[in-house]
Amino acid sequence: MPTNIVIPELGESVTEGVIQQWLKKDGEFVKQDEPVLDLETDKITMGVPAPASGVVRASRATGERVKVGSIVGVIEESAGAPASAAPAAPAPKAAGVAPPAPASNGKHAPDPAASDVRATPLAKKLAQEHGVNLGDIAGTGAGGRVREQDVLQAVQDRSGKGAAVSVAEPKASPTPPAAGPGGGSRREKMTMLRERIAQRLVEAQHTAAMLTTFNEVDMSAVMGLRSKHKESFEKKHGVGLGFMSFFVKACVLGLKNFPLVNASIVQNASGELEVEHHDFFDIAIAVGTPKGLVVPVVRGCDRLSFAGIESAIKELAVKAKDGRLALADLQGGTFTITNGGIYGSLMSTPILNPPQTGILGMHAIKNRAVEDPAHPGQVAIRPMMYLALSYDHRLVDGAEAVQFLVTVKNALESPERLLLDL
Active site residue 393: yes
DSSP-assigned states of every residue in 118-148: -B-HHHHHHHHHHT--GGGS---SGGG-B-H
Q: Which are the contacts of 86, defined by CB distance < 8 A and separation ≥ 6? A: none
Query: 364 pLDDT exceeds 90?
Result: yes
Q: Which residue has the higher pLDDT, 170 or 399?
A: 399
Asked if 4 contacts 50 with a C-beta cutoff of 8 angstroms, the reply is: no
pLDDT tens digits, 150-178: 777 777 676 654 444 444 444 445 555 55
Most confident of 170-174, 283-287, 293-297, 386-390: 386-390
Active-site position among 130, 237, 278, 393 = 393
Contacts of 335 (CB under 8 A, 6+ apart): 251, 255, 261, 262, 281, 283, 284, 356, 358, 359, 360
Amino acid at 165: V
Contact assessment for residue 252 and residue 281, using Cβ atoms and an 8 Å cutoff: yes
The pLDDT tens digits of the residues spanning 198-220 come to 776 677 777 778 999 999 999 99
Reported confidence tier of residue 143, pLDDT bands at 50, 70, 90: low
Q: Which of 136, 372, 397, 421 is catalytic?
A: 397
Closest C-alpha to 324, from 47, 8, 24: 47
Q: Show the domains of the chain with their CATH numbers.
A: 2-76 (2.40.50.100), 101-166 (4.10.320.10), 193-420 (3.30.559.10)
Q: What is the pLDDT of residues 65-118, one digit of tens each?
A: 888 888 888 888 865 666 544 444 454 444 444 444 444 444 444 454 455 667
CA distance 127 to 167: 12
Rounded Cα gap, residues 29 and 360, in angstroms: 49
Return left, alpha or beta for 240; rule: phi > 0 is left, psi -120 to 50 is alpha, else beta. Answer: beta
Taking only the tens place, the pLDDT of each residue in 257-279 is 999 999 998 888 888 889 999 99
Would you state the pLDDT for residue 166?
Answer: 43
Alpha helices in 279-347 (DSSP H): 306-321
| Beta strands in 23-83, from DSSP E residues, in sequence order | 29-30, 35-40, 45-49, 54-58, 65-67, 71-76
The number of C-alpha atoms within 13 Å of 180 and in the hemisphere containing its C-beta is: 1
Q: Is 263 left (phi over 0), alpha (psi -120 to 50) or beta?
A: beta
Q: Name the residue with higher pLDDT: 86 or 196.
A: 196
pLDDT at 237 exceeding the cut of 90? yes
